[in-house]
Chain A
Amino acid sequence: MNIDIIFKIAAIGILVSVVNHVLTRAGREEIAMLTTLTGVVIVLLMVVNLINDLFNNVRSIFRLY
């Protein structure tokens, strides 16, 4: 469990917002919306993996079966 996951998520967030601005300037709102969606989905997958690890950890520590 290392810190770079948070930095990776932040980088994806910044990247998606920049790409979004560029695409809206270029007049392609629908593609901008799609890139936002893919960015959020990628970040969501990473966070869901984190939550899965959290629940397994808590279950093993507190013996919640």
Chain B
Amino acid sequence: MDIVQIVGVGIVAAILSLIIKQHKPEIAFLISIAAAIFIFFIIADKLPYIVNVFNDIINKTQIDTVFISSLIKIIGVAYITECASQICRDMGENSIASKIELGGKVIIMILGLPILKALTETILQILP
């Protein structure tokens, strides 16, 4: 049922921003930002279920929970970075968008360092 709501909001917001784009392009872009955020709120109350299922699965195995929590953090950072860079690209600011993506990559790299370290340690243990 929610998909109908998402599609409705998206189409209505697109038409509204098209109407206003000829006269006031800045307000048209603000409408598209508001629509993007609103669509995220529609799916926001479903995401915790996914996260909880991930945690339950990981708790059953003996894998350390640090990995799954940093994985979820990485997904969050990736989502925000992609959202912001798409909005900047909509406004025609490609350079700002690529800088945002660069920042996101660096933050994700930092979040992923402990996983990398653990991976190398296990590999070294396996090797004779």
Residue of A nearest to B12 (CB): A6
**B75:A5 contact, CB within 8 angstroms:** no
How many chain A residues touch B (Cβ–Cβ < 8 Å)? 32
Residue of A nearest to B79 (CB): A58
**A47:B23 contact, CB within 8 angstroms:** no
Interface string of B42-60 (1 = CB under 8 A from A): 1010011001000000000
**B37:A16 contact, CB within 8 angstroms:** no
**A6:B34 contact, CB within 8 angstroms:** yes
**B79:A16 contact, CB within 8 angstroms:** no
Contacts of A51 in B (CB 8 A): 33, 37
A9-B23 contact given A57-B40, A57-B41, A61-B51, CB 8 Å threshold: no
Q: Which of B5-26 contact A (CB under 8 A)?
A: 9, 12-13, 16-17, 19-20, 23-24, 26
Q: Counting CB contacts under 8 A, is B30 at the interface?
A: yes
For the A-B complex, the count of residue pairs with Cβ-Cβ distances under 8 Å equals 98
Distance (Å) between the CB of A18 and the closest chain B CB? 9
Contacts of A62 in B (CB 8 A): 47, 51, 72-73, 75-77, 79
**A10:B38 contact, CB within 8 angstroms:** no
Contacts of A39 in B (CB 8 A): 24, 27
Chain A residues packing against B (C-beta within 8 Å): 1, 3, 5-7, 9-10, 12-14, 16-17, 20, 36, 39-40, 43-44, 46-47, 50-51, 53-55, 57-59, 61-64
